[in-house]
Structure 1
């Protein structure tokens, strides 16, 4: 049971993506901007064009963005916790996203301002399982149960429709990560990035994600590779972001053995085998929920 004796405040979990922007729009249209908050937890790794998109959406809605940040980026969190984030566990989202959200809800909204927050997420109709997990989490991890709402599920609006509305009705260009597509091979025409978080450097990305990152932003891939090599040396452990057959598989090895030789048929076959492991290795991150 939710406690509703306080004045409600409607909080859009604004990630910088299209779906969260649309969720914020539907929330504001129904309850008025004076009763709403655009809430953004900044990891300090976001692509610069995401910030541009968020600013334009906020201006369109006539609101300011309420930003909270830990002050560290994911690499600094990995260093402080002495744990390199990977496809199975990423303390970056736990500390930089979830913790900041809980502090905002419990301390600022409930305790200090005596408000009753209601959270809005950009989760689509095909992701009901994610909505269920979020609902369960916020019922049990705040100082009191918090209601969660999912406008896209409630109105059964698919993400492609949302993107069309933002571009063609709002006149706002989506973050550039949405536009990159494969230009050849069996993946031709497919989107390279499945989400626009952390400038492509998401440690929960799998083999296909990092292939796309290498093709589009090789410099970002090399930053991840260099970070991984630093942690391997610092921790003196065989750690990595990617996993092959449940064992560490470094980005340097992936680049030198696979990504630099994708025009070779035998290497392409090896890549296809690696890509099949993504379904087992990759666990959706909380960052993709907001």
Structure 2
């Protein structure tokens, strides 16, 4: 039986694979990484380094150095796409049980194709770049009685199990981190020390998840303010892409974020949010910094 792990690049994915390897070994284990092309450079580093560790391979120093030279999202997406294609081939050559796949589109290209901007309720990016892509890859290679699927959610996210099992039916889905010993994400990050692997830097920058370089349409106002503070250039890139999409759709009322006032939802563009923050007005009346949203890309 092949054991396929949805390997997202987060610490939960690694610790899920660690538990599985401790119980069942790694001979029949595969790691499936679906690339949105806008991940943080350090996610690629962590994903490659942790995968090599799982399969007891020497640390791939050369590949890790290449991760540091990935072109920035906000500067040249075409160059980044080509670079990641080559890096993926090199990584899979070094780690044969790692499968690094991509739709070849980034989230903004998906939004344009679907003629809608993703948000917390309709995240076409995760649907197209992760869910559909991974399901197609698995179904083309393995029948339901030939593979078990593993997901990196933990015991604090058990409400997601039903959606995952429904989406992947009739395949069996396992969730090792929902079982004892129960670990918080902080425990998992601390546990990386025993493997000599640095934690993905987005966690240290205050992001709840190591996804999409800190950009996530499921994120809330607080999430995007954190992105603005930690990587203003990247925030401005996504702000410009949102405005570009509004012009393409000829609608200014379609935004990633909304704000509820007196039980009525109002659209809030990334530009409006930034201007509120920069002028200080948002702190007084509008911006909810506790609104970080939530990730559920494999559901």
Q: How does 1:83-232 map to 2 (within 5 A)?
A: 83-110=116-143, 116-139=146-169, 145-155=170-180, 156-166=182-192, 168-180=193-205, 192-232=206-246
Residues 1:104 and 1:267: Cα distance change in structure 2 (over 3 Å): closer
- CA distances 1:98-150 after superposition (whole Å, capped 9, x unpaired): 0011111211222xxx96111111111111111232223222xxxxx111111
Q: Which residue of structure 2 lines up, in the alignment, with residue 259 of structure 1?
A: 277
Give 5+ residue unaligned stretches, structure 2. Answer: 56-94
Q: Which residue of structure 2 lines up, in the alignment, with residue 78 of structure 1?
A: 111
Residues 1:118 and 1:28: Cα distance change in structure 2 (over 3 Å): same
- Structure 1 residue ranges, 4+ long, deviating more than 6 angstroms after superposition: none
Alignment match of 1:242 (pick from 227, 246, 257)? 257
CA–CA distance in 1 between the matches of 2:243 and 2:218? Answer: 17
Residue 25 of structure 1: how far off its partner (Å): 1.4
CA–CA distance in 2 between the matches of 1:117 and 1:261? Answer: 54
CA–CA distance in 1 between the matches of 2:161 and 2:153? Answer: 7
RMSD: 1.9
CA–CA distance in 1 between the matches of 2:196 and 2:279? Answer: 41
Pair 1:42 & 2:72 matched: no
Contact preservation (8 Å) 1:25, 1:61: yes
Contact preservation (8 Å) 1:240, 1:249: yes
Contact preservation (8 Å) 1:12, 1:27: no
SS in 2 for 1:33: coil
Give 5+ residue unaligned stretches, structure 1. Answer: 1-7, 140-144, 181-191
Residues 1:236 and 1:150: Cα distance change in structure 2 (over 3 Å): same
TM-score by length of 1: 0.82
Q: Which residue of structure 2 lines up, in the alignment, with residue 18 of structure 1?
A: 11
Residue 161 of structure 1: how far off its partner (Å): 1.7
